[in-house]
Amino acid sequence: MKLIVLDRDGVINEDSDAFVKSAEEWIPIPGSIEAIAYLSKAGWKVAVATNQSGLARGLFDMTDLTDMHLKMQQLVMEQGGQIDLIVHCPHGPQDGCNCRKPLPGMFRTIAEHFRLPDLKGVPAVGDSHRDLHAGLVLGGKPYLVKTGKGQRTLQNILPPGTQVFDDLASVVDHLLKADG
Ligand SMILES: O=P(O)(O)OC[C@@H](O)[C@H]1O[C@@H](OP(=O)(O)O)[C@@H](O)[C@@H](O)[C@@H]1O
Ligand SMILES: [Mg+2]
Ligand SMILES: [Zn+2]
C-alpha cells in the first residue's frame, strides 16, 4: 500500500508559536495542498497525525479543529485529491497520554485503520523531531521539511536515515519520481 503520514502544522499549513486556533488562521503552505492532491491522484493513501495540545490548553475547541480540518479537506478535494485519515492528540504535555508525538499512538491508530501490522517504509513527514521519532517506532521512513519549525529542527542531530527537503511539495516530487 502506498501510504504517507503527514504532520500538519508546519508541513501542510503555516505554523505559529501562538498556535493555529481557527480555520481563518489555518493557512496552507504554498504547494502543500497541490502536493497532497498529486499523491492522492497517484493512488497514495494520505494520513495526517497532529498534536493539538491547544485543545487541552483551552486555546480552541473541537468545533474549531473540525472547521480547520474541513477547510484542509475541501482545499485538497478542490484539487482532485483527498486526505484519507486525520488523527489528532488532544492532550497536553502533562497528560501522560500515549498518542502525543513523539509517542507512536497515532501511528499505531493509522496502521490499524489501514489493516497494516506496522508502518515499515511508510514516509513520515514532519517539521519537528517528535514527528520523525514517532514515525520511526513502527518502521516509518523519516522526512524532515524545512518549513514550520524545520530549520530549528535541523540545528540538532536527526534520526539516522532522515531525508531533508525544502517543503512537502519537494518530498512529493521525490516520491512520485521514485514511483516511476
Ligand atoms: O505540528 P503538529 O503536531 O501538527 O501541531 C503542532 C501544534 O499543535 C502546536 O504544537 C505546540 O507544541 P506543544 O504541544 O506546546 O509542545 C507548539 O509547537 C505550537 O507552535 C504548534 O502550533
Ligand atoms: Mg509540526
Ligand atoms: Zn494524546
The tens digit of pLDDT for each residue in 94-142 reads 999 999 999 999 999 999 999 999 999 999 999 999 999 999 999 999 9
User: Which residues are tagged catalytic?
Assistant: 7, 9
Nearest to residue 145, comparing CAs of 9, 30, 11, 39? 11
The tens digit of pLDDT for each residue in 1-17 reads 999 999 999 999 999 99
Question: Is residue 9 within 6 Å of ligand 1 at its C-beta?
Answer: yes
Domain count, the chain: 1
Question: Is residue 91 within 6 Å of ligand 1 at its C-beta?
Answer: no
Give the cell for residue 108: 499505531
The whole domain housing 69 covers 3-179
Q: What is the largest CA-CA distance in the chain?
A: 46
Global pTM value: 0.98
CATH of the domain at 133: 3.40.50.1000
**What is the DSSP secondary-structure string of 89-132?**
E---TTS--SSSTTSSHHHHHHHHHTT-S--TT-EEEESSHHHH
Nearest to residue 52, comparing CAs of 83, 81, 26, 28? 26
